[in-house]
Amino acid sequence: MTASSKKGQRLNAPDARIGDVLVTWYQKNKRSLPWRQRFLESGDPYVIWISEIMLQQTTIQAVLPAYERFLGVFPQLKNLAAATEDEVRLACRGLGYYRRFRLMHEAAQVLAAREPFHWPRTYKEWRELPGIGDYTAAAISSIAFGEAKAVVDGNVERVFCRLLDRRVVPDQKLKKEFQAMGDSMIPASAPADYNQGVMELGQTICIKQNPRCAICPVQDFCAAFKNGSQNLAPAPKKPMEYEEVRMHLWLLLQNGKIGLVQRSKDARFLGGTLGLPTAWEKDGELRWEQAGRWDFQTEAFGSIKHGITKHRIQAFVHRKDWKGNSPAMTWVPLEEAETQLVSNLDRKALHLFLKLEAKPTLFDDQSFL
């Protein structure tokens, strides 16, 4: 392979052997993951599709328990298509970025309505479904249907930048070049193993900090390794600019139950989720995340920190014994609340409450969160 780190210079053709080397390496070293096992046993594209949606912007460790729980509730496409939006959210609880699951649900309904039913097979057909981008379409069509379309995500970009010693921040133009490079390297005889191999290489060997070059199967082809510049390629992205947000969450209590409300679909955070009554501060006023205005004059008993995309949230948690009723309120026994709350933010607030209730002396100590 000839490589260049000069900005603006086009990539040269990669060494065609890389694809085969990655396939061989993957076949010997692949991790045992539940979606791989399930697909091996059932051949059902559904189990691959669900895993690929869950893995978007989420670590494998976080996905593992949610994946098993989800397939326990919705074992087949028809179960998912027939579910309500709330049931889907609940089954995906704790994973964040809920828009992807709303789109996945929409796609399930599109597919289930097909007469006669047939799965999309090609990259192009998958790409037409709601919530399926380039990467996901390439992953599913290659793994489940053997299409030779290469995946390119952040991990693959990092691997390719190093193979070519490109010391730049990957942009759209470079991503297109990498897509062409991947498509030219993917062996038609084993596209699923190539794609999973290159992803696995980025996740386990060619990691961000201190890549494990000594055991890397493509070391011989790597320009950054030759130049000793692994930590320079790619160039680091500009750090994210965070926005600080102050938020308030209320635990409404009545006869051993807590009151949950549906956040508005267009809420600023966690739109459409069933959770604790929530408001955030703007110009000294509270902006409510669910329909109606609430007038709770309460002191927070504690606070939690939470991140949602570029927002750094400090959420003050309040408790209120609630006498009245409201059709908007869903009352859930306290011991079941954990399984009903979709978002991690709500669950953190609940945990704080339970911890402080169990040990009142901790009221002033929030360091455990």
Task: Point out the residues that are catalytic.
Answer: 52
Stretch that binds ligand SF4, among 37-45, 93-101, 222-230, 293-301 (CB under 6 A): 222-230
Query: Smallest gap, in angstroms, from Cβ of residue 55 to ligand SF4?
Result: 21
Number of residues that bind ligand SF4 (CB under 6 A): 15
Residue 214 neighbours by CB under 8 Å, 6+ apart: none
Cα separation values, 278 from 202, 236, 272, 316, 321, Å = 39, 36, 12, 10, 16
Query: Smallest gap, in angstroms, from Cβ of residue 46 to ligand SF4?
Result: 33
Q: Are the beta carbons of 13 and 109 closer than 8 angstroms?
A: no
The residue among 166 and 263 lying less far from ligand SF4, judged by its C-beta, is: 166
Stretch that binds ligand SF4, among 31-39, 113-121, 145-153, 224-232 (CB under 6 A): 224-232
By CB under 6 A, is residue 222 in contact with ligand SF4?
Answer: yes
Cβ-based neighbour number of residue 41 at 10 Å: 9
Question: How far is 40 from 277, CA to CA, in rounded Å?
Answer: 44
The residue among 193 and 289 lying less far from ligand SF4, judged by its C-beta, is: 193
Question: How far is 342 from 267, CA to CA, in rounded Å?
Answer: 15
Stretch that binds ligand SF4, among 18-26, 100-108, 219-227, 332-340 (CB under 6 A): 219-227
Burial class (CB in 10 A: 0-12, 13-18, 19+), 323: exposed
Query: Which of 149, 162, 167, 257 is the binder for ligand SF4 (CB under 6 A)?
Result: 162
By CB under 6 A, is residue 155 in contact with ligand SF4?
Answer: no
By CB under 6 A, is residue 23 in contact with ligand SF4?
Answer: no
Enumerate residues 66-125 that contact ligand SF4 by CB under 6 A. none
Q: Are the beta carbons of 277 and 346 closer than 8 angstroms?
A: no
Provide the CA 69 distance to its chain's centre, in angstroms.
16
Secondary structure of residue 93 in the 3-state scheme? coil
The residue among 158 and 319 lying less far from ligand SF4, judged by its C-beta, is: 158
Query: Which of 19, 170, 211, 277 is the binder for ligand SF4 (CB under 6 A)?
Result: 211
Query: Smallest gap, in angstroms, from Cβ of residue 162 to ligand SF4?
Result: 4
Residue 139 neighbours by CB under 8 Å, 6+ apart: 48, 52, 151, 195, 199
Q: Are the beta carbons of 271 and 264 closer than 8 angstroms?
A: yes
Stretch that binds ligand SF4, among 128-136, 182-190, 218-226, 247-255 (CB under 6 A): 218-226
The residue among 57 and 204 lying less far from ligand SF4, judged by its C-beta, is: 204
Residue numbers at the binding site for ligand SF4 (CB under 6 A): 159, 162-163, 205-206, 211-213, 216, 218-219, 222, 224-225, 230
